[in-house]
Structure 1
Amino acid sequence: MQNVFILALSLMLAACAAPTRTDKDEFFVVSSGNVPIEKVPHFVDCLTDGFNRAHSGLTNFEVRQSLRATGYRVETYTGSFNYLLMSADIFNDGNVVLNESSAAALINTNGEKDAFVGCLAEFKVNV
Protein backbone atom coordinates (compact mmCIF):
# COMPACT_ATOMS: atom_id res chain seq x y z
CA MET A 1 0.00 0.00 0.00
CA GLN A 2 2.87 2.35 0.81
CA ASN A 3 4.37 1.76 -2.65
CA VAL A 4 1.10 2.74 -4.33
CA PHE A 5 0.97 5.94 -2.27
CA ILE A 6 4.57 6.82 -3.16
CA LEU A 7 3.91 6.16 -6.84
CA ALA A 8 0.77 8.30 -6.82
CA LEU A 9 2.56 11.12 -5.00
CA SER A 10 5.47 10.96 -7.45
CA LEU A 11 3.13 11.20 -10.44
CA MET A 12 1.34 14.20 -8.95
CA LEU A 13 4.61 15.99 -8.31
CA ALA A 14 5.84 15.22 -11.81
CA ALA A 15 2.64 16.67 -13.28
CA CYS A 16 3.33 19.92 -11.44
CA ALA A 17 6.61 20.23 -13.34
CA ALA A 18 4.97 20.45 -16.77
CA PRO A 19 5.76 23.67 -18.65
CA THR A 20 3.14 26.31 -19.30
CA ARG A 21 3.16 29.02 -21.96
CA THR A 22 4.70 31.40 -19.42
CA ASP A 23 7.81 29.18 -19.52
CA LYS A 24 9.07 30.71 -22.77
CA ASP A 25 12.29 28.67 -22.79
CA GLU A 26 10.25 25.43 -22.87
CA PHE A 27 8.58 26.14 -26.24
CA PHE A 28 9.94 26.46 -29.75
CA VAL A 29 8.31 27.60 -32.97
CA VAL A 30 7.51 24.74 -35.33
CA SER A 31 5.71 26.68 -38.04
CA SER A 32 4.27 30.11 -38.73
CA GLY A 33 2.46 32.05 -41.42
CA ASN A 34 -0.29 34.51 -42.22
CA VAL A 35 -3.97 34.16 -43.03
CA PRO A 36 -6.38 36.88 -44.18
CA ILE A 37 -7.87 38.74 -41.23
CA GLU A 38 -11.42 37.83 -42.28
CA LYS A 39 -10.43 34.13 -42.30
CA VAL A 40 -9.01 34.07 -38.73
CA PRO A 41 -12.15 32.47 -37.17
CA HIS A 42 -12.24 29.85 -39.95
CA PHE A 43 -8.55 29.06 -39.40
CA VAL A 44 -9.23 28.62 -35.67
CA ASP A 45 -12.05 26.18 -36.42
CA CYS A 46 -9.90 24.27 -38.92
CA LEU A 47 -7.04 24.02 -36.44
CA THR A 48 -9.27 22.93 -33.56
CA ASP A 49 -10.83 20.21 -35.71
CA GLY A 50 -7.39 19.12 -36.94
CA PHE A 51 -5.95 18.96 -33.43
CA ASN A 52 -8.96 16.86 -32.37
CA ARG A 53 -8.27 14.40 -35.21
CA ALA A 54 -4.53 14.28 -34.46
CA HIS A 55 -4.74 11.39 -32.01
CA SER A 56 -6.71 8.17 -32.12
CA GLY A 57 -9.73 7.70 -29.89
CA LEU A 58 -7.75 5.19 -27.85
CA THR A 59 -5.44 7.86 -26.47
CA ASN A 60 -6.27 10.45 -23.86
CA PHE A 61 -5.65 13.93 -25.33
CA GLU A 62 -7.63 17.12 -24.88
CA VAL A 63 -7.83 20.11 -27.23
CA ARG A 64 -8.61 23.50 -25.70
CA GLN A 65 -9.47 26.70 -27.48
CA SER A 66 -9.31 30.04 -25.68
CA LEU A 67 -10.03 33.62 -26.64
CA ARG A 68 -7.12 35.93 -25.88
CA ALA A 69 -6.78 39.73 -25.97
CA THR A 70 -4.77 39.46 -29.20
CA GLY A 71 -6.65 36.58 -30.84
CA TYR A 72 -7.06 32.88 -30.10
CA ARG A 73 -5.02 30.02 -28.69
CA VAL A 74 -5.57 26.35 -29.58
CA GLU A 75 -3.68 23.79 -27.50
CA THR A 76 -3.30 20.04 -27.09
CA TYR A 77 -2.87 18.57 -23.60
CA THR A 78 -2.33 15.03 -22.47
CA GLY A 79 -5.47 14.04 -20.65
CA SER A 80 -3.74 11.94 -18.00
CA PHE A 81 -1.09 14.32 -16.72
CA ASN A 82 -2.40 17.55 -18.28
CA TYR A 83 0.92 18.31 -20.01
CA LEU A 84 0.76 21.05 -22.63
CA LEU A 85 2.17 19.59 -25.85
CA MET A 86 1.29 21.89 -28.74
CA SER A 87 0.12 25.49 -28.65
CA ALA A 88 -0.97 27.62 -31.59
CA ASP A 89 -1.49 31.36 -31.40
CA ILE A 90 -3.80 32.84 -34.00
CA PHE A 91 -3.57 36.62 -33.83
CA ASN A 92 -6.30 39.03 -34.89
CA ASP A 93 -3.93 40.52 -37.49
CA GLY A 94 -3.69 37.16 -39.29
CA ASN A 95 -0.31 36.02 -37.98
CA VAL A 96 -0.33 32.37 -36.88
CA VAL A 97 2.36 30.53 -34.92
CA LEU A 98 2.60 26.87 -33.86
CA ASN A 99 4.74 26.12 -30.78
CA GLU A 100 5.82 22.75 -29.44
CA SER A 101 6.54 22.12 -25.77
CA SER A 102 9.62 20.39 -24.44
CA ALA A 103 7.13 18.05 -22.72
CA ALA A 104 6.23 16.65 -26.15
CA ALA A 105 9.68 15.13 -26.66
CA LEU A 106 8.48 11.51 -26.58
CA ILE A 107 4.98 12.06 -27.99
CA ASN A 108 4.06 12.01 -31.66
CA THR A 109 2.82 15.50 -32.52
CA ASN A 110 2.85 15.04 -36.28
CA GLY A 111 -0.96 15.21 -36.37
CA GLU A 112 -0.97 18.73 -34.96
CA LYS A 113 1.85 19.80 -37.24
CA ASP A 114 0.05 18.38 -40.28
CA ALA A 115 -3.20 20.08 -39.22
CA PHE A 116 -1.44 23.44 -38.93
CA VAL A 117 0.23 23.10 -42.33
CA GLY A 118 -3.04 21.93 -43.91
CA CYS A 119 -5.09 24.79 -42.44
CA LEU A 120 -2.39 27.27 -43.41
CA ALA A 121 -2.45 25.96 -46.99
CA GLU A 122 -6.24 26.28 -47.05
CA PHE A 123 -6.43 29.81 -45.65
CA LYS A 124 -3.02 31.38 -46.37
CA VAL A 125 -2.55 34.88 -47.70
CA ASN A 126 -2.08 34.78 -51.45
CA VAL A 127 0.83 37.05 -52.33
Structure 2
Amino acid sequence: MKKLFIIPLSIILASCAAPTRTDTDEFFVVDSGNIATDKIPYFIDCLTDGFNKAHSGLANFEVRQSIRATGYRIETYTGSLNYLLVSADVFNDGKVVLNESSAAGWINTKGEKDTFSTCLLNFNKLED
Protein backbone atom coordinates (compact mmCIF):
# COMPACT_ATOMS: atom_id res chain seq x y z
CA MET A 1 0.00 0.00 0.00
CA LYS A 2 2.86 2.38 0.79
CA LYS A 3 4.28 1.87 -2.70
CA LEU A 4 1.07 3.26 -4.19
CA PHE A 5 1.77 6.60 -2.51
CA ILE A 6 5.49 6.80 -3.29
CA ILE A 7 5.10 7.38 -7.05
CA PRO A 8 2.50 10.20 -6.84
CA LEU A 9 4.42 11.81 -3.98
CA SER A 10 7.64 11.67 -6.01
CA ILE A 11 5.92 13.32 -8.98
CA ILE A 12 4.54 16.09 -6.79
CA LEU A 13 7.91 16.76 -5.19
CA ALA A 14 9.68 16.71 -8.55
CA SER A 15 7.29 19.29 -9.97
CA CYS A 16 8.11 21.61 -7.08
CA ALA A 17 11.74 21.52 -8.17
CA ALA A 18 11.04 22.81 -11.70
CA PRO A 19 12.87 26.06 -12.50
CA THR A 20 11.02 29.34 -12.85
CA ARG A 21 12.12 32.42 -14.79
CA THR A 22 13.62 33.84 -11.61
CA ASP A 23 16.16 30.99 -11.81
CA THR A 24 18.18 32.79 -14.49
CA ASP A 25 20.95 30.19 -14.53
CA GLU A 26 18.37 27.53 -15.55
CA PHE A 27 17.47 29.24 -18.86
CA PHE A 28 19.43 29.89 -22.02
CA VAL A 29 18.69 32.03 -25.06
CA VAL A 30 17.69 29.98 -28.09
CA ASP A 31 16.84 32.81 -30.49
CA SER A 32 16.36 36.58 -30.47
CA GLY A 33 15.68 39.50 -32.76
CA ASN A 34 13.75 42.71 -33.24
CA ILE A 35 10.32 43.43 -34.63
CA ALA A 36 8.52 46.66 -35.44
CA THR A 37 6.69 47.94 -32.36
CA ASP A 38 3.41 48.26 -34.28
CA LYS A 39 3.60 44.51 -35.03
CA ILE A 40 3.93 43.38 -31.39
CA PRO A 41 0.28 42.24 -31.01
CA TYR A 42 0.52 40.22 -34.23
CA PHE A 43 3.83 38.66 -33.15
CA ILE A 44 2.27 37.66 -29.81
CA ASP A 45 -0.71 36.09 -31.61
CA CYS A 46 1.69 34.24 -33.92
CA LEU A 47 3.68 32.86 -30.96
CA THR A 48 0.60 31.89 -28.95
CA ASP A 49 -1.03 30.10 -31.88
CA GLY A 50 2.20 28.33 -32.84
CA PHE A 51 3.07 27.30 -29.28
CA ASN A 52 -0.43 25.84 -28.92
CA LYS A 53 0.11 23.75 -32.08
CA ALA A 54 3.64 22.68 -31.13
CA HIS A 55 2.62 19.48 -29.35
CA SER A 56 0.24 16.72 -30.34
CA GLY A 57 -3.01 16.18 -28.51
CA LEU A 58 -1.57 13.06 -26.88
CA ALA A 59 0.30 15.08 -24.28
CA ASN A 60 -0.91 17.78 -21.93
CA PHE A 61 0.80 21.13 -22.58
CA GLU A 62 -0.38 24.59 -21.61
CA VAL A 63 0.52 27.94 -23.19
CA ARG A 64 0.31 30.96 -20.91
CA GLN A 65 0.53 34.62 -21.78
CA SER A 66 1.22 37.35 -19.25
CA ILE A 67 1.65 41.10 -19.36
CA ARG A 68 4.91 42.29 -17.84
CA ALA A 69 6.12 45.80 -16.96
CA THR A 70 8.42 45.74 -20.00
CA GLY A 71 6.18 43.85 -22.42
CA TYR A 72 4.72 40.36 -22.68
CA ARG A 73 5.72 36.80 -21.89
CA ILE A 74 4.45 33.68 -23.68
CA GLU A 75 5.36 30.34 -22.11
CA THR A 76 4.79 26.64 -22.63
CA TYR A 77 4.35 24.41 -19.58
CA THR A 78 3.81 20.71 -19.27
CA GLY A 79 0.26 20.46 -18.05
CA SER A 80 0.63 17.57 -15.65
CA LEU A 81 3.93 18.39 -13.95
CA ASN A 82 3.80 22.14 -14.60
CA TYR A 83 7.39 22.34 -15.88
CA LEU A 84 8.25 25.55 -17.69
CA LEU A 85 9.76 24.51 -21.04
CA VAL A 86 10.14 27.65 -23.14
CA SER A 87 9.57 31.30 -22.41
CA ALA A 88 9.41 34.07 -24.99
CA ASP A 89 9.76 37.70 -23.97
CA VAL A 90 8.33 40.35 -26.27
CA PHE A 91 9.54 43.75 -25.09
CA ASN A 92 7.73 47.04 -25.69
CA ASP A 93 10.71 48.30 -27.73
CA GLY A 94 10.39 45.41 -30.23
CA LYS A 95 13.16 43.18 -28.88
CA VAL A 96 12.10 39.51 -28.73
CA VAL A 97 13.91 36.65 -26.99
CA LEU A 98 13.17 32.93 -26.77
CA ASN A 99 14.54 31.14 -23.70
CA GLU A 100 14.57 27.41 -23.07
CA SER A 101 14.53 25.85 -19.62
CA SER A 102 17.00 23.24 -18.45
CA ALA A 103 13.89 21.19 -17.56
CA ALA A 104 13.08 20.94 -21.28
CA GLY A 105 16.06 18.69 -21.92
CA TRP A 106 13.90 15.57 -22.19
CA ILE A 107 10.99 17.20 -24.06
CA ASN A 108 10.98 18.14 -27.73
CA THR A 109 10.64 21.92 -28.05
CA LYS A 110 11.33 22.06 -31.79
CA GLY A 111 7.77 23.27 -32.41
CA GLU A 112 8.23 26.34 -30.24
CA LYS A 113 11.67 27.06 -31.72
CA ASP A 114 10.34 26.76 -35.26
CA THR A 115 7.35 28.94 -34.38
CA PHE A 116 9.55 31.65 -32.92
CA SER A 117 11.81 31.63 -36.00
CA THR A 118 8.84 31.75 -38.37
CA CYS A 119 7.12 34.56 -36.47
CA LEU A 120 10.38 36.49 -36.30
CA LEU A 121 10.86 36.08 -40.04
CA ASN A 122 7.29 37.23 -40.71
CA PHE A 123 7.49 40.30 -38.45
CA ASN A 124 11.23 41.05 -38.60
CA LYS A 125 12.13 44.71 -38.32
CA LEU A 126 14.12 45.73 -41.37
CA GLU A 127 17.22 47.72 -40.53
CA ASP A 128 17.07 51.36 -41.64
Spell out the pairing of 1:1-127 with structure 2 (5 A cutoff): 1-127=1-127
Q: Structure 1 CA distance, aligned partners of 2:59 and 2:92? A: 32
Alignment-mate amino acid for residue 95 of structure 1: K
Q: 1:58 Cα shift?
A: 1.2
Q: Structure 2 CA distance, aligned partners of 1:5 and 1:75? A: 31
Q: Structure 2 CA distance, aligned partners of 1:71 and 1:64? A: 14
1:33-83, Cα deviation, whole Å (9 max, x unpaired): 000000011100100001001001111100000011110000000011000
Alignment-mate amino acid for residue 24 of structure 1: T
Q: Structure 1 CA distance, aligned partners of 2:55 and 2:7? A: 27
Alignment-mate amino acid for residue 3 of structure 1: K
Q: 1:4 Cα shift?
A: 1.1
Q: 1:7 Cα shift?
A: 1.3
Q: Structure 2 CA distance, aligned partners of 1:59 and 1:45? A: 22
Gaps of 5+ in 2: none
- Superposed structure 1 runs of 4+ greater than 6 Å apart: none
Gaps of 5+ in 1: none
Q: 1:6 Cα shift?
A: 1.4
TM-score w.r.t. length of structure 1: 0.98
Alignment-mate amino acid for residue 30 of structure 1: V
Q: Structure 2 CA distance, aligned partners of 1:4 and 1:22? A: 34
Query: SS of the residue aligned with 1:58?
Result: coil
Q: Structure 1 CA distance, aligned partners of 2:88 and 2:22? A: 14
The CA RMSD over aligned residues, in Å, is 0.6
TM-score w.r.t. length of structure 2: 0.98
Q: Structure 2 CA distance, aligned partners of 1:28 and 1:104? A: 11
